[in-house]
Amino acid sequence: MPITSKTVEPGIVAVTVDYPPVNALPSQAWFELGEVITAAGKDMSTHAVILRAEGRGFNAGVDIKEMQNTDGFTALIDANRGCFAAFKAVYECAVPVIAAVNGFCVGGGIGLVGNADVIVASDDAKFGLPEVERGALGAATHLSRLVPQHMMRRLFYTAATVPAATLHNYGSVHEVVPRAELDEAALRVARDIASKDTRVIRAAKEALNLIDVQKVNSSYRMEQGFTFELNLSGVADEHRDEFAGTDKGKK
């Protein structure tokens, strides 16, 4: 199964994404990921969730080829709504979510980890948003939770990536370890959280979200509005066609 949920230790659920070759998710997979994370949090026996991935990298965003091989705007709308649902599920999961990031974390991957409670990463992990090179916007909301404002802007405008060590210096990544030790690093954090009274931790998660200065759900939805404008103008199709090797023209 491309998305699985498994209790790996008492109170700890690991949600694993496995969409070869690069974990670029089709639109329906984003909805499924959100549903799986939400369900894990609703189970009172769950004290913490680890979000991890198999393969070359943590997440490569949406499946652009799916979008370009679908007539009309249905795939685009589904991808945008699916990403919104998955990001929201991480943020609003009833228990803390620990993101274990291996390899690349780009596009939609930034939305997932930016909404996570704790991030651990392998020493080969890189983070970034290639959105402007795909004729899109989005997830600057989440990138701004990982790096300072001016770095966020530079990364967004240039589509550059930064290594996990940089985010560790800013405190947004808790720990950087060799890839072989990544799962254990995530488990260390999850065990610490799981050892606490889950009733208190669940209250704490809700309280921290309520006092959050940045309203991530509405902020991200605002970004998506500009993505839709770029699609309606035909600009986004030009860039996606170039990336996907298709030639659909304007929708």
Condensed to tens digits (0 to 9), the pLDDT of residues 41-62 reads 999 999 999 999 999 999 999 9
CA distances from residue 147 to 128, 158, 218 in whole angstroms, order as listed: 11, 15, 20
The DSSP string of 47-106 is -EEEEEE-SS-SB--B-HHHHHTSSTTHHHHHHHHHHHHHHHHHHH-SS-EEEEE-SEEE
Q: Torsions phi, psi of 139, nearest 5?
A: 70, 10
Distance CA 232, CA 251 (A): 8
Q: Assign residue 230 the CATH number of its domain.
A: 3.90.226.10
In a domain, residue 188? The reply is: no
SS3 state of residue 249: coil
| 3-class secondary structure, 5 | strand
Residue 50 forms part of a structural domain? yes
Q: Is residue 97 part of a domain?
A: yes
| Residue 187 covered by a domain | no
pLDDT value of residue 52: 98
The DSSP output letter for 44 is T
- How many angstroms separate the Cα of 151 from the Cα of each of 23, 99, 155, 172? 26, 22, 6, 13
Taking the C-alpha atoms of residue 54 and residue 70, their distance in angstroms, rounded to an integer, is: 27
- Tally the domains of the chain: 1
Binned at pLDDT 50, 70 and 90, residue 196 comes out as: very high
- Cα separation of 244 and 230, whole Å? 17
Q: What percent of the chain has pLDDT over 90?
A: 82
Decide if 251 is inside a domain. Answer: no
Q: Is the pLDDT of residue 242 over 90?
A: no
pLDDT for position 246: 64
Closest CA to 61 of 96, 97, 17: 17
Q: What is the mean pLDDT of the chain?
A: 94
Round to whole Å and give the CA distance between 40 and 210.
21
Residue 223: count of CB within 10 angstroms of its CB:
17
pLDDT at residue 73 above 70? yes
Q: pLDDT value at position 194?
A: 98
Q: What is the pLDDT of residues 8-38, one digit of tens each?
A: 999 999 999 999 999 999 999 999 999 999 9
- Tell me, yes or no, whether 130 lies in a domain: yes
- pTM: predicted TM-score of the whole model, two decimal places: 0.93
Contact between residue 73 and residue 231 where contact means Cβ atoms under 8 Å apart: yes
Identify whether 190 is part of a domain.
no
Give the domain range for residue 69: 3-180+198-244
Is-contact 238 230, C-beta < 8 A? no
Residue 249 located in a structural domain: no
Cross-strand bridge partners of residue 196: none
Residue of higher predicted confidence among 239 and 193: 193
